[in-house]
């Protein structure tokens, strides 16, 4: 194992050991796991483990938190990170990414804050600074420069931005949306038609659909403004794929479930999460996704044969 991976693993194991024993607290505990998963073998034959990538992602989260705190920009860890919070008080052991959430109204301020304050080891990509950015992805990616990650969907949705393909966290913008499911379906339908057009032009014909991107980004802001006074929010309507194959009621959230964000302990530190994170998880994933207290300890309910990274095709860390 190279010194880079060894150092990262040792750093992350320190955070894990601080939480040892918490599964025995029935009221406030969580699953404790030191399970090591090998996510990838790099070009030099080094194993790239969950411990190493989790430490890198934790470093990115801390840098993002520093910039947002300095500029008074609200944000929260969401989705799989929120599930990790409740089940593990940290990352899910086999998880290979992290998602954070901002309010779409704060996106212009965030872009300016990152331009000004983001540290030299990090970069960010979004449509607002690089029109090559894939608008079918979440709103922004914050990357660690000294690394490389290739996702399994890279062939269909390649990264064409100038800042490389380092390990990243996704920044998803939440916008105002209809509180009527039927109307919400119509709102997303306009964005959904763009998906096959985008993939056909950008991937197969290699013709960047710049005008289509501009049009759909305008539509994003129009939807956000039109439904400003409803009681519901959701990930931006132009991220159309999130609705495919899902119950449409599961991607529309009551505003009070998400805001205001509250700080919770995650990986031994304090990070912001959704206001009612347990309610969000039950609503979004169902009760079965949450840990269970069995025979005096907290246990994972997710099927063991599915506990493996879902997105990574290639992964390397240089320093």
For the residues of 107-171, what is the DSSP string, one character each?
A: HHHHHHHHHHH--TTEEEEETTT-TTS-TTS-SEEEEESSEEEEETTTTTS----TT----EEEE
**Within 13 Å of residue 290, how many CA atoms lie on the same side as its CB?**
14
Q: Which pLDDT score is estimated for 145?
A: 97
pTM strictly above 0.85: yes
CA 256 vs CA 276, 277, 318: distances in Å: 8, 11, 42
What local confidence, expressed as pLDDT, does residue 159 receive? 86
The neighbour count for residue 191, using CB atoms within 10 Å, is 21
Per-residue pLDDT of the chain (319 residues; tens, 9 = 90+): 679 999 999 999 998 888 888 777 788 899 999 999 999 898 889 999 999 999 999 999 999 999 999 999 999 999 999 999 999 999 999 998 899 999 999 999 999 999 999 999 999 999 999 999 988 889 999 999 999 998 877 776 778 898 989 999 999 999 999 998 889 888 888 888 888 888 888 878 888 899 899 999 999 999 999 999 999 999 998 886 665 555 555 689 999 999 999 999 999 999 999 999 999 999 988 998 999 999 988 999 988 888 888 778 889 999 9
Residue 136's pLDDT is 85
**Region of residue 295 (left: phi > 0; alpha: psi -120 to 50; beta: else):** left
Nearest to 243 by CA among 251, 233, 253, 232: 251
- For the chain, the domains span 3-174+256-317
* Contact residues for 22 (Cβ-Cβ < 8 A; gap 6+): 28, 29, 30, 32, 89
Alpha carbons 252 and 232: distance in angstroms, whole number: 6
- Residue 21 has a pLDDT of 80
Residue 231 contacts residue 178 (beta carbons within 8 Å): no
- Partners of 317 in beta bridges: 147
């Amino acid at each position: 194992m190279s010194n880079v991976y060894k150092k990262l693993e040792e750093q992350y194991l320190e955070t894990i050991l601080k939480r040892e024993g918490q599964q025995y607290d029935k009221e406030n505990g969580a699953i404790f796991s030191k399970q090591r998963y090998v996510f990838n073998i790099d070009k030099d034959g080094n194993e790239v483990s969950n411990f190493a990538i989790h430490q890198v992602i934790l470093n990115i989260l801390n840098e993002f938190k520093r910039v947002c705190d300095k500029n008074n920009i609200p944000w929260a860890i969401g989705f799989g990170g929120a599930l990790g919070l409740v089940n593990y008080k940290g990352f899910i052991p086999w998880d290979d990414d992290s998602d954070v959430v901002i309010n779409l109204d704060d996106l212009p301020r965030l872009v300016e804050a990152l331009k000004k304050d983001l540290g030299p080891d990090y970069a960010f990509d979004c449509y607002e600074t690089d029109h090559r950015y894939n608008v079918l992805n979440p709103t922004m990616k914050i990357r660690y420069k000294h690394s490389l990650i290739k996702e399994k969907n890279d062939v269909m949705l390649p990264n064409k931005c100038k800042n490389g393909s380092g390990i990243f966290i996704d920044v998803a913008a939440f916008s105002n949306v209809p509180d009527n499911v039927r109307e919400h379906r119509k709102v997303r339908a306009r964005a959904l038609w763009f998906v096959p057009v985008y993939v056909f032009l950008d991937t197969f014909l290699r013709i960047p659909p710049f005008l289509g991107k501009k049009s759909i980004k305008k539509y994003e802001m129009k939807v956000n403004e039109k439904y400003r006074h409803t009681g519901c929010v959701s990930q931006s309507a132009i991220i159309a794929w999130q609705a495919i194959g899902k119950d449409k009621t599961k991607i529309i959230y009551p505003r009070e479930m998400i805001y205001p964000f509250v700080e919770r302990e995650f990986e031994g530190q304090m990070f912001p999460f959704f206001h009612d994170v347990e309610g969000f998880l039950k609503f979004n994933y169902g009760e079965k996704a949450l840990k269970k207290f069995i025979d005096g300890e907290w246990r994972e309910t997710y099927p063991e044969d599915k506990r493996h990274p879902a997105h990574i095709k290639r992964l390397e860390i240089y320093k």
